[in-house]
Structure 1
Amino acid sequence: MLIERKEERAVSKTKARHMAAYTAFVAPAVLFFILIIVIPFFRAILFSFQDWNGISSHIRWAGWSNYTKLMHDSGFGKSFVFTFKYVIATTILLNVLGLLLALVLNMALRTKNVLRTAFFLPYVIGPVIIGFIWQFIITGLFPEIGKATGLALFQKNWLSLPDHSFWSLVIVTVWHSAGYFMVIYLAALQGVPKDLLEAAEMDGAGRYLRFWHVLLPLIRPAMTINLFLAISNGFKAFDLNFALTRGGPFGTTESLAYHIYLDAFAKNLFTYASAKAVVFFLVLASITLVQVAAMKRREVEL
C-alpha cells in the first residue's frame, strides 16, 4: 500500500510539473492574445453601437444607427466591390501560378534549390517596402521602358488610371506572395506516393490524366489551405494598398481595410468605422467558413 501511494504521489507530482511547464509556456501567448485580439474585438463591437469621435470624454449610445447609416454608404459599397474583385483575381492567379511553379520545381532540375529561393525571396520582404519599390518601378522605370521600346502600355502612368492601378496591385501581390503558395504546393506534391503515379503510368495514363485524377485529388488539403490564405489575405489587404496606390485614383482602389482605416484615423469616425469592421469580420468569416467546409468535403485522405 505504501509503495502504491508513493507511486501515485510521484505520478501526481510529475503531472503537476508538466502542467506548470505547459502553463509557463502557454500563458504568455494566451495573455497577449486576449489583450491584443479578444478584448479589442469585443471593444469594437461595443463601439459599433456608440457615437464617439475618439477625443471627447462623452460617449453617446447610438444603437443600430451606425449600421443603418452603413447601408447607404456608397464609399463602403465601392470599396467592397473593389475588394471582392481583387480577392477573385489574386486568389485565382496565386493558386494557379503557385501550383505551376511547384510542378516545375518538383522535377529533377539542377537549379531547383536556387529557383525555390529566388521565388520565395520576395515574400520575406515586407509588403510596405515592396509597395514603395514597385511605386518607383511603375512611375520611374516603366516610362523609360516605354520610351526605349515604343510600347504604349509602358508609356502610361499605371497608378493614375483606375483599371491599370487595379492590375498593378494584383500583379505586385502575385509577385510578392506566389513563392509562399508554391512552397505549400511543393510540400504537398512531394508527399504524394510515387507508386500511385507509377501505377497510373503503367495503366496508360498520360501526364494530364495523372495530374487530374491522381495528383490533384491528393493535394486538395494544400489547395484548401492556399485558398483560405488567398481569400483571407485578399480581404484583409492593407499594406500594399497603402504603400502603392493609397486608394487612388479617386478612391477606385480603396480596399475595405484601408477604407475602414481612413474612417477611423483620418476622419475620426471611430464608432462608425467599428461598425464597418464588424460587418467586414462577419462577411470574411462567412466566406472563409463556407470555402473551408466545401473544400474539406472533397479532400482525399491517405
Structure 2
Amino acid sequence: MAVATGSRPASRGTGQTPGGRRRLREGRLDRTFYWMVLPAFVLFFVFHTIPVLQGIFYSLTDSPGYGEWNFVGLANYAALFGDERVRDAYLFTFQFAIVCTVLVNVIALVIAIWLNGRIRFRSTLRGIYFIPYVLALLVIGYVFQYMFNQSLPAIGQALGIERLSTSILADPSLAWIGLVVMTVWQAVAFAIIIYTAGLQTVPAELYEAASIDGATPWRQFWSITMPMIWSFFTINVVLSLKNFLQVFDQVIAMTGGGPGTATETIGVLIYRGGFQGGEYGYQIANAVIFMIIIMAFALFQLRVLRREEVSV
C-alpha cells in the first residue's frame, strides 16, 4: 500500500494548514499587544488629553476659576501680547533657562570627563554627585534661601565684605543669581550621569591612536569625544532647556517671584494669576501659548542637534 510522502495534510476538523494556524496565532498576539496598551492609553487620555482640551476651552472664556463665566473668544490671547508683566515674565524665564542650560552642560561635561578618568572610587563619586537630584526641589530651595538670607550675610559681615553683608535675594538685580546657583547645583547631577554613560561608549583605542598621532587633549575632545557623545549631548540640552523653561519650585521657595516681580517666571505668573488672582481663563490662555512655545523649541532643538549629529 502506497503512502503519500508529499505535503503535510490539513488539520482534522479545522480545515486549517499549519501556516494558517501560525497566522492566526500572530493575529491573536497583535490583539494582545493592543489590550496591553489600552489601559495606558485610557489613563493618558483621561488624565492628560481631556484636561488639556478643557484648558483650551476655558482659555476662550473669562472664567475666574469658579462661578459664572462668559465666552470671550480670542480676547485673552490678544490681551496677552499687550501685557507688560507677561512680557517681562517670558523674558526672564528664557534668560534664566538659557543661562542654566549652558552652565549645567558645561559643568556636567567637565565633571563627567574627570570622573571617567578616575579608576578608584568611580562608583562612589557618581553616587555622591547624584544626591542633589534625588532631593525635593522645595527642600533644596528653602535650604539655599536660608543660606543666602542668613549664612552668607553673616559671613560677609564677619569678614567685612560689604557686598556679602546683605542677602542677594533682596536685590532685584542680583536675586536671579541665587536662583541660578541653586538650580545648576541640583540639575547638574542628572546631566553628569548621562554624560558619564556616553563617555563609556567611546573606545579607549581611539584616544590611544590619537595620542600616538600627537593630538592634544583639546583636539581629542573636539575630534573624538564630542562626535561620539553628541546624541547624549542632544538629550541633555533638550531636557535641560525644557525643564528650566518650566521652573517653578525654585522660585516659590527662594524668592516667591520677588523682589517685586524681578524673578517672576511664566509658571509662577500663571499660578498666581490663575489660582490666586481670579484670572483663570486669562492665565490658561497664557499656559496654552507657553505649551506651544515649549513644544516648538523642543522640536527645533531636536531637528538642529540631530542634523549636527549626522554631520559629525
Distance 1:71 1:108 in 2: 52
Cross-structure match for 1:39? 50
- Write the distance in 1 (CA, Å) between the matches of 2:279 and 2:21: 60
Query: Do 2:149 and 2:166's aligned partners in 1 also have CA atoms closer than 8 Å?
Result: no
Instruction: Determine which of 118, 135, 140 is the counterpart of 2:128.
Output: 118
Q: TM-score, normalised by structure 1?
A: 0.93
User: Pick from 108, 113, 131: which aligns with 2:141?
Assistant: 131
Amino acid at match of 1:12: L
Match status 1:152 vs 2:162: yes
Q: Out of 248, 258, 273, which is 1:263 matched to?
A: 273
- The AA in structure 2 aligned to 1:250 is G
- SS of 1:45's partner is helix
Equivalent of residue 161 in structure 1, options 166, 171, 179: 171
For these two proteins, the number of residue pairs brought into alignment is 300
Alignment correspondent of 2:28: 16
Cα distance in 2 between the residues matched to 1:35 and 1:131: 33
| Correspondence 1:176-195 to 2 at 5 A | 176-195=186-205
Which amino acid is 1:5 matched to?
Q
- Shift of residue 74, structure 1, vs aligned partner: 0.9
Once the two structures are overlaid, the 10-residue window that deviates more, 287-296 or 138-147, is 138-147
1:114: how far off? 1.9
Q: Aligned to 1:227, which of 232, 237, 242?
A: 237
After TM superposition, the score normalised by the length of structure 2 is 0.90
- Paired residue for 2:206? 196
Supply the distance in 2 between the matched residues of 1:201 and 1:212 (Cα, whole angstroms): 14
Q: Which residue of 1 aligns with 2:10?
A: 2
Match of 2:284 among 274, 281, 285: 274
How far 1:90 sits from its partner (Å)? 0.2
- Aligned alpha-carbon RMSD (Å): 1.9
Q: CA deviation at 1:281?
A: 1.3
Q: Aligned to 2:109, which of 79, 95, 99?
A: 99
Unpaired runs of 5+ residues, structure 2, are 1-8
Aligned pair 1:207/2:207, yes or no? no
- Matched to 2:80, the amino acid is L
User: Any runs of at least 4 consecutive aligned residues in structure 1 with deviations exceeding 4 A, and if so which?
Assistant: none
SS of the counterpart of 2:309? coil
1:116 Cα offset (Å): 1.1
- Alignment match, 1:81: 91
Is the CA contact 2:150–2:167 (under 8 Å) kept in the aligned structure 1? no
Question: Distance in 2 between the 1:13 and 1:135 partners?
Answer: 62
C-alpha separation between the residues in 2 aligned to 1:211 and 1:297?
20
Amino acid of the residue matched to residue 21 of structure 2? Answer: R
Contact 1:145–1:154 at 8 Å: present in 2 too?
Answer: yes
Letter in 2 for 1:127: L
User: How far is the alpha carbon of 1:161 from its aligned partner?
Assistant: 0.7
8 Å CA contact 1:218, 1:300 repeated in 2: no
Cα shift at 1:6:
6.1
Q: Which amino acid aligns with 2:197?
A: A
Shift of 1:294: 0.5
For the 8 Å contact 1:147–1:155, the answer to whether it is kept is: yes
8 Å contact kept, 2:168–2:175: yes
Ranges in structure 1 where 5+ consecutive residues have no aligned partner: none
How many Å separate the matches in 2 of 1:208 and 1:251? 43
What is the identity percentage for the equivalent residue pairs of Structure 1 and Structure 2? 32
Displacement of 1:143: 2.1
Deviation of 1:33 (Å): 1.4
Per-residue CA shift, 1:246-279, capped at 9, x if unaligned?
A: 1010011011111111111011211101110111
**Kept in 2: contact 1:138–1:158 (CA 8 A):** yes
